[in-house]
Amino acid sequence: MTVTYTTKTGATQYKPSFAWIESVVHSDGDWGFCLGCGNHQTGCEPDARRYKCDDCGAAKVYGAEELALMGLFHYTD
């Protein structure tokens, strides 16, 4: 599940659930998550920070481990 937040500047930001991060970290996948549109992306290393989003073009795609380290997730599902 993805939750939408509004940042201090008024921009919309999406965050994945902790359960999603945990499932990706424990899999062999190379999934990333775009904070700009909330879509999942392939080809993103778990500890990567910036890859261009295939869907919205934002440079805010993070691997699951990086999201966990930065605290960019939510606990509710």
pLDDT at 77: 54
Its pTM stands at: 0.80
pLDDT in tens, 11-51: 888 999 988 888 888 887 788 899 889 998 888 888 877 66
Among 36, 40, 41, 39, smallest CA distance to 12 is for 36
Residues β-bridged to residue 3: 15
Q: Which helix (H) or strand (E) holds 22?
A: helix 18-25
Mean pLDDT of 43-71: 84
pLDDT at 38: 92
